[in-house]
Chains A and B, each alone.
Chain A
Amino acid sequence: MAVEGKTIDALSQFELTHVAAGFTNSNLYMLIGGVAISALMVLGMQKRARVPGRLQSLAEVSYEFIYNMVDEQVGREGRKFFPFVFTLFMFVLFGNLLGMLPYAFTFTSHIAVTFTLALVVFILVTAVALAIHGTKFFSYFFPEGAPIALAPIIIPVEIISYLSRVVSLSVRLFANMVAGHVMLKVFATFVVLLGSLGVIGIIGAAAPLALNVALVGFEFLVAFLQAYVFAILTCIYLHDAVHLH
């Protein structure tokens, strides 16, 4: 929940140079997210207890969750992509969850961030497909057995459909995070405005406040769900790249 005046802006004290892009609060929370993920994995697994404690359980559960997802969706040959999918999932998940803290900045609510992530996935998937299948990859754009006469229509449509993955992958995460946080802010504004109206206003403000409490819970669900969706779609695209069709 970015608080008023906490839209994306450079933290001047951390600015490296005035020419290059400054170090923004978005970057700061990416860094915090990265440190938190590393801390969870390193500190959580430090004991290597046979019966895991809470932190170790959390680390193990998230690891196994993504490991099984990659195994199920991509198959055995997809296991080498596990580190990539796991990093992506944890980064998005921590971005979403950090954004739930008061005064924090949700970097996944910016299309520049989600689009970059989606572009990384897209380039990797295309590179993997080209590396495994070579020029056979281009048969992806023309289904076998289709009449040659339809090629001028089918090929552009398939290419656009393939390219639209980047857009839908990035917009899904971005739109979900923005929509939830905008709703939270709108109802929070209702609470403040109604609350300033005296006794009747305070009674009236209870309704948007109650709704906001429910929305916060819903936002936690969305935070996990969208990280999961981002990861599983990455897996499905990787499956397509490895198996081609």
Chain B
Amino acid sequence: MDDPGKAGRDASFEARLAAARKRQGLDEPKADTDRPVSPWGVGLRAGLEVASALAVGVGLGLAADWWAGTRPLFLVAGVFLGGAAGIVNVYRLMLGRRGKKDLGTPPAA
């Protein structure tokens, strides 16, 4: 959208447009877009992340048991690992995008 080689007349227009946009609050910096804003949204999103990780853990556990014939050994492990993965998912969700890099350090602010 920004065209560097513009005439002075256009530059003044751009400046006025930017000022008008600022007045109307159109240029507000956007928050992390993948995070829900309402309390209900946060709760449902976090719950879904935990539940889906748990479901995958249980599913993998059952599948491994079915394959190895060791029921309920892998199922038990899958429940715990799935639960842990759910917690990791929620932790990442709350950290936002910058925090995805390393799991070890808590958010700075």
Contacts and interface: CB of A to CB of B under 8 A. Distances in A.
A146 B86 CA distance: 19
Given A146-B104, A160-B81, A167 B34 contact: no
Contacts of A42: none
A8 interface: no
A236 B34 contact: yes
Contact of A161 (B55, B88, B101, B104): B88
Interface string A163-178: 1100110011001000
Contacts of B102: 143-145
A168 B90 CA distance: 12
Contacts, number: 64
Interface residues of B, number: 27
A164 B104 contact: no
Q: Which DSSP category, helix, strand, loop or mixed, fits chain A's interface? A: helix
A124 interface: no
Interface in B37-93: 45, 48-49, 51-53, 55-57, 60, 77, 81-82, 84-86, 88-89, 92
B22 interface: no
Contacts of A167: 52-53, 55-56
A160 B82 contact: yes
Contacts of B100: 240, 245
Contacts of A161: 53, 85, 88-89, 92
B33 interface: yes
A24 interface: no
B52 A168 contact: yes
Nearest to A160: B85
A167 B33 CA distance: 20
A245 B81 contact: no
A164 B53 contact: yes
Given A160-B81, A160-B82, A168 B48 contact: yes
Given A164-B52, A168-B48, A232 B104 contact: no
Given A161-B89, A240-B100, 16 more contacts: A73-B33, A143-B103, A143-B104, A160-B56, A160-B60, A161-B53, A164-B52, A167-B56, A168-B49, A168-B53, A171-B51, A172-B45, A175-B48, A232-B34, A236-B97, A245-B101
Interface of B: 33-34, 45, 48-49, 51-53, 55-57, 60, 77, 81-82, 84-86, 88-89, 92, 97, 100-104
26 contacts: A143-B102, A145-B104, A146-B103, A153-B81, A153-B84, A156-B77, A157-B88, A160-B56, A160-B81, A161-B89, A163-B60, A164-B49, A164-B52, A164-B53, A164-B89, A167-B52, A168-B48, A168-B49, A168-B53, A168-B89, A171-B51, A175-B48, A232-B33, A233-B34, A236-B97, A240-B100
